[in-house]
Structure 1
């Protein structure tokens, strides 16, 4: 009887794990939507080069670029430490999927603004490159 009473307070603190899992899944889906864009090109190398140029235009120093894996990492140190890692992979036969992941002082960024800035710069650069404007 004493053992059953000892576990009684713990039962009242239990939360519905299904709700927790669904909440995490929803937030991850929302974050993925903020972090990912598709571009109408099948040229992976061109997309990688344009990502590198866009990061540099935004003040990032490229730390690593792996063409085979399609991963580019850059750090921006002007007043704060932001690191952005971008992956480029095919999406079907006519598109490239670009996903960016940012960290600010080693904490994952879930705010949409840095991603919007990056994708605005990348979209503009992709348009200019596609239309052969330097």
Structure 2
């Protein structure tokens, strides 16, 4: 019994010894985005000069439908849109629209993922696509749709 207590005490001391405070440099590094993450966010995000969030959501819906996606979910209050496309492999698009401070416009972020079904897994995994032409084409369609809608064309 005494040997078991000594073992547990030793294990607890070892576990506590492994938990040491992170240095300030480690804390900063953990909260700083990598260069790749910043580049990806830049690719996925566009700023528009209208504060009309509903117009931008409607434009994103139209652009995704033009690209062959089926809208699965929209939430105007939070500015979230999810769509799927089954042709040529399953793709998922997730779009967020948010108003910028001081009503100076809106920011739209789109993420396109290839859905990968793993054998034996209950849920599929999404691999984020990083093709600049895909995002450029989407945002061009959004811009066209916003212009046509805003001008009743």
Corresponding residue for residue 110 of structure 2 = 100
Larger Rg: 2
TM-score, L = length of structure 2: 0.69
- CA drift of 1:123 comes to 1.1
Does the residue aligned with 1:107 lie in a helix, a strand or coil?
Answer: strand
Query: Quick check: 61-70 or 104-113, which moved more?
Result: 104-113
Q: Once superposed, what is the RMSD of the aligned Cα atoms?
A: 2.1
Q: Within 5 A, what are the aligned runs for 1:52-131?
A: 52-92=61-101, 93-105=103-115, 106-131=126-151
Unmatched segments (≥5 aa) in structure 2: 1-25, 116-125
Detail structure 1 runs of 4+ shifted over 4 Å in the superposition. none
Unmatched segments (≥5 aa) in structure 1: 1-16
- Distance across 2 between alignment mates of 1:32 and 1:73: 18
TM-score, L = length of structure 1: 0.78
* 1:45-64 deviations in Å (ceiling 9; x for gaps): 11111111111111100011
- Distance across 2 between alignment mates of 1:109 and 1:44: 25
- Distance across 2 between alignment mates of 1:132 and 1:91: 25
